[in-house]
Structure 1
Amino acid sequence: MPIPAHNLTPPFNIVRLSHTELRVTDLAWSRGFYVDTLGLQVTHEDAETIYLRAMEERGHHCMILKKAAQPSVGVLGFKVWSEEDLDKAESWFKSRSLPTSWIERPFMGRVLATRDPFGVPLEFYAKMDRLEPVHQKYKLYRGVKPLRIDHFNLFSSNVDESIKFYGDIGFRVTEYTEDAETGRSWAAWMHRKGGVHDIAFTNGTGPRLHHTAFWVPTPLNIIDLLDLMSTTGYVSNVERGPGRHGISNAFFLYIRDKDGHRTEIYCSDYQTIDPDHEPIKWDLKDPQRQTLWGAPAPRSWFELGSEFEGAELVESDMKAQPIIAP
């Protein structure tokens, strides 16, 4: 299917992705992984919840770890430009017969909770508590030195429908993968903030969260993290990489925590800048789309993901497959 034209006058103004809430079964283990090993900064914690931010972020949190009996994803969060945009967003989601409610969230102002048509829990806000800058407090830098949250990637049972919905609210496609036999989109990368993506979609049983990504300073930070993980008991948590994507041109590493939540460590992609940036098309069978150097991803990368709280899974009817590592 053709990629829809960019919607440059969306119904409300989304600035960027903001945060995610991961439900985890062992909060102490998760703290050791995300804080002590990866290097995210704790901004608040209690017996049930840990709030985290990366080094360049001024907002109170970009990730919430919440203790739960079963692992899942509680929500994906996005920042909008103004309080007026929140009201416009409520009206728009209501016009699509999607659920809306105003909820209380610690460290945040008004929060609009909703779901997309596929069941993904979303929340939008204009104001979050601001914290002092720590980007020049170099003694705090640990692990992979995460600078900021970069994007979400989701499994979608129909990528073309996901492109259409998120395009309607202003996300713009930068790159996409097409199955030549059917003409359907197998994957797509969409942005608001001027990078390659704030959110991406990969064909598969969905909706599920494929990964949350963090931007780091250089590829050498990824090498340092691999040395750290391989000598501190986390070697089995390394899933894929390091490598360089064809799509986005980014240097990457994928790791998974005790509950199966996947994190991408990410750097060196490009800026789109112009709102009329034309999407780049890739063929599903091109081995360089996954990794510029030609190495295919493992089967787990195409099949395993984190379920969203309260979302019903739908299997994709698209049977086309990329090249998968043996």
Structure 2
Amino acid sequence: MPIPAPNLYPPFNIIRLSHVVFGVTDLAKSRHFYVDTLGLQVTDETADTLYLRAMEERGHHCIVLKQADQATARALSFKVFSEEDLDKAATWFANKGHAVDWVDRPYQGRTLATVDHDGMPIEFYHKMDRLAPIHQRYELYRGVKPLRIDHFNCFSPSVDASVAFYNELGFRVTEYTEDEDSQLLWAAWTHRKGGVHDMAFTNGTGPRLHHTAFWVPTPLNIIDLCDLMATTGYVGNIERGPGRHGISNAFFLYILDPDDHRIEIYCSDYQTVDPDLEPIKWDLKDPQRQTLWGAPAPKSWFEQGSLFEGVTPRKADLDATPIVAP
């Protein structure tokens, strides 16, 4: 199916992805993983909630961890350009028949909670509390030295439908994988901020969150993290990599947190600022699309994902088999 033309004048202006909210079953264990091991910075902490940011970020948080009975992804959040855009978003989703609600989120201004075409919970806001810069406070750098949140990747039961919906919101496709037999999309990478992706979609039972990604300075930081995880009780949490993707050219590592929420640590992708940049097409049968070099992805990488709270996923429309590790 053809990739839609870039929508350069969407109904409201999304700047970038902002943060994810995870339900976690043991907040202390999650704190040890995200703070003491990965190196994210605590910006606030209560008995049941932990707010974190990465080293280059000025916003109050890029990830929120909430103590819960079950491990779920509660919402994916995006920043819009203005309060007017927030109102336009509310009108647009309401006119499309999507549930809309104004919710109170700490350290944010007005926040719009709604759902996408698959019922996946998404939120929008304009203003978040700003914190003092810490990117030159080198005494704080530890773990993998995460600089910023970069993207979400979601399992989608129809990648074509996901691309079409988010195209209406101005997300532009940078790279995609097409199944030559059915002419359907197996995966697609879309962005708002001028990188390879803010939102990616992978064919599979969904909607579910495949992973949340953090950008780090160099491949050596990823190697250092592997050494650290191997000697602090987390070697079993290394799921895939290190390696390099064909798609995006990213040097990557996939790890699982104590609740099996998947995190990608990566660097070395490229900019896609020009609005007329042509997307790159990959064949599903090309073994270098997912792994330019390195071990093939394990079966778990194609099957395991975080459930969204209150959302029942459905089986994918496309029945296609990618290359998996033996």
Q: Using the TM superposition, give the Cα deviation of residue 275 of structure 1 relative to its aligned residue in structure 2, in angstroms.
A: 1.1
1:57-206 aligned at under 5 Å gives the runs: 57-206=57-206
Q: Is the CA contact (8 Å cut-off) linking 2:243 and 2:294 kept in structure 1?
A: no
1:298/1:324 contact within 8 Å kept: yes
Deviation at 1:310, TM superposition (A): 1.3
The Cα shift of 1:257 comes to: 1.1
Distance 2:80 2:271 in 1: 20
- The separation in 2 between residues aligned to 1:295 and 1:286, in whole angstroms, is 15
Distance of 2:190 and 2:318 partners within structure 1: 21
**Once the two structures are superposed, what CA deviation does each residue of 1:173-194 show, in whole Å capped at 9, x if it has no partner?**
0000000000000000000000
Q: Which residue of 2 aligns with 1:54?
A: 54
Distance 1:6 1:156 in 2: 20
Provide TM-score, normalisation by structure 1.
0.99
Q: Match for residue 293 of structure 2?
A: 293
Is the contact made by 1:156 and 1:316 (CA closer than 8 Å) also made in structure 2? yes
* Structure 1 unpaired stretches of 5+: none
Counterpart-to-counterpart distance in 1, 2:312 and 2:92: 23
Q: Deviations over 1:264-293 (max 9, x none)?
A: 001000001101111100000100001112
Q: Structure 2 length as normaliser, TM-score?
A: 0.99
Paired with 1:28 and 1:275, the residues of 2 have a C-alpha distance of 44
Mapped partners of 1:202, 1:246: distance in 2: 15
CA contact (8 A) 1:288 1:294 kept: no
Cα deviation digits, residues 114-170 of structure 1 (max 9, x gap): 000101101100000000000000000010000000000000000000000000000
Tell me the number of residue pairs that the alignment of Structure 1 and Structure 2 aligns. 326
Q: CA deviation at 1:317?
A: 2.5
Matched, 1:260 2:298: no
Partners of 1:295 and 1:225 in 2: CA distance: 18
- Is the CA contact (8 Å cut-off) linking 2:6 and 2:170 kept in structure 1? yes
Distance (whole Å) between structure 2 residues aligned to residue 250 and residue 164 of structure 1: 25
Structure 2 CA distance, aligned partners of 1:57 and 1:309? 27
C-alpha distance in structure 2 between counterparts of 1:181 and 1:295, whole Å: 26
Identity of aligned residues (%): 73
Given that 2:242 and 2:294 are in contact with CA atoms closer than 8 Å, whether structure 1 keeps it comes out as no
| Residue in structure 1 matched with residue 211 of structure 2 by the alignment | 211
Partner AA of 1:17 in structure 2: L
8 Å CA contact 2:241, 2:295 repeated in 1: no
CA root-mean-square deviation? 0.6
How far apart, in 1, do the equivalents of 2:234 and 2:54 lie?
A: 21
SS in structure 2 opposite 1:34?
Answer: helix
